[in-house]
Amino acid sequence: MLLQESYPLKHLNTFGMDVSARYYAEITSRDDLSVIFDDPGFAANPHLVLGGGSNLLFRGNYDGTILHIRLRGKEIVAENKDNVFLKAAAGEPWDELVAFCVENGWGGLENLSLIPGQAGSSPIQNIGAYGVELKDHFHSLEAWCKKTGEVKIFNREDCRFAYRNSFFKGEGKGKYIILSVTFCLDKNPVIRTEYGGLMGELESMDCSSPDIADVRTAVCKIRKSKLPDPEITGNAGSFFKNPVVPEKTYRQLKKTHPGIFAFPDSGGMKLAAGWLIDQAGWKGYRDGDAGVHPKQALVLINHGEATGTDILNLASRIQESVKKHFGVALEPEVNIV
């Protein structure tokens, strides 16, 4: 395993921040983890586990070691008449994994098409889109304990999934490195089309009885029409979580803002953060090279030379504005380093 110094990270974070790491190492096997964590010099510096770099914002250079997870591979580990249990290594690109499942007729992940990142980071965030969350088709994962070097199996209950949250963002934060994730996929898929304009897109495609391939196509079309390509415009997708408010609060907001909409959630009603930001007047806003995407106000963008501080300052102003207009607090979804 090669440990590199002063390693540029611009190509490893979708915001395109021009920063570097003091040290950098690619993790291609479990043995790599054992080697590096047994090194006394490694323990003297902070470290950051990096996947696809799609859900983080660097404020500046990272004065520590970046461990870039590059574990690859997929295999069926079990099967019955209804389900296929597919194990994916943590470094598998997420959308390639979704495409693989759809091509094989295994349902469950198609609504999560075109989400950037890698398989290993998907449970940490409990990624979700168009009415589906990762937890809905999660079976288990393998994680390497930094303290003991042992591999632990986590089932769904162990992961404590919640909206854009899990054990790995709370009590377990920084304690484990995910090695693989096993998904429970459907041989007889249940099509989910009721969320986020998906049915309308399918109707425009003249799909009256869509299959999972049609759903994937529709999701990809919607995302490409609304979201910027990070290869062209730096961004991390949705910068803020959709806030969940009590139903009473939602009814009060509906009286003063009739156009507001929400979806039922276990904690109350989930508001559309993008709509709140848009109504507060931020869609398309630009300050230097930090801006808000003109088609989706939930996405903050780097027009080229913005720094992490520039993006954070803009995010703070948006939070203050939404709080003033609606009395609702926005919480960042992006991890800030």
**pLDDT tens digits along 139-177:** 999 999 999 999 999 999 999 999 889 999 999 999 999
Can you tell me the distance from the alpha carbon of 104 to that of 132, in angstroms, rounded to the nearest whole number?
20
Note whether residue 205 is domain-resident. Answer: no
- Measure the N-to-C terminal CA separation of the chain; round to a whole number of Å: 25
Same domain (yes/no): 80, 143: yes
Single pTM value for the model = 0.87
pLDDT at 108: 97
pLDDT at 183 over 70: yes
Which DSSP string corresponds to 154-168? EEHHHHT-BTTB-GG
Provide, rounded to the nearest whole percent, the portion of the chain with pLDDT above 90. 87
What pLDDT digit, counting tens, does each position of 31-58 carry?
999 999 998 888 888 999 999 998 899 9
Kindly list the catalytic residues.
164, 238, 333
Same domain (yes/no): 153, 55: no
pLDDT at 261: 87
Average pLDDT, the chain: 94
Same domain (yes/no): 244, 182: no
151-155 vs 138-145, strand pairing mode:
antiparallel
Contact 295, 222 (CB under 8 A): no
What pLDDT digit, counting tens, does each position of 263-308 carry?
888 889 999 999 999 999 999 999 999 999 999 999 999 999 999 9
Can you tell me the distance from the alpha carbon of 72 to that of 8, in angstroms, rounded to the nearest whole number?
23
- Residue at which a domain ends, from 69, 87, 104: 69
pLDDT at 103: 98
pLDDT at 1 over 70: no
pLDDT at 222: 92
CA nearest 12: which of 30, 29, 28, 25?
Answer: 25
Which residue range forms the structural domain that includes residue 122? 74-186
Q: What is the CATH number of the domain that holds 324?
A: 3.90.78.10
What pLDDT digit, counting tens, does each position of 90-119 carry?
999 999 999 999 999 999 999 999 998 999
Note whether residue 216 is domain-resident. Answer: no
pLDDT at 2 over 80: no
pLDDT at 266: 80
pLDDT at 196: 66
**Number of structural domains found in the chain:** 3
E strands of 232-303, at which residues? 234-238, 244-245, 262-265, 268-271, 286-287, 290-292, 299-302
pLDDT at 208 over 90: no
Give, to the nearest 10 degrees, the angle between helix 94-103 and helix 212-226.
Answer: 150
Contact 42, 48 (CB under 8 A): no
E strands of the chain, at which residues? 4-8, 20-27, 47-50, 56-57, 62-69, 74-79, 83-89, 128-129, 132-133, 138-145, 151-155, 176-186, 234-238, 244-245, 262-265, 268-271, 286-287, 290-292, 299-302, 335-336
Same domain (yes/no): 128, 35: no
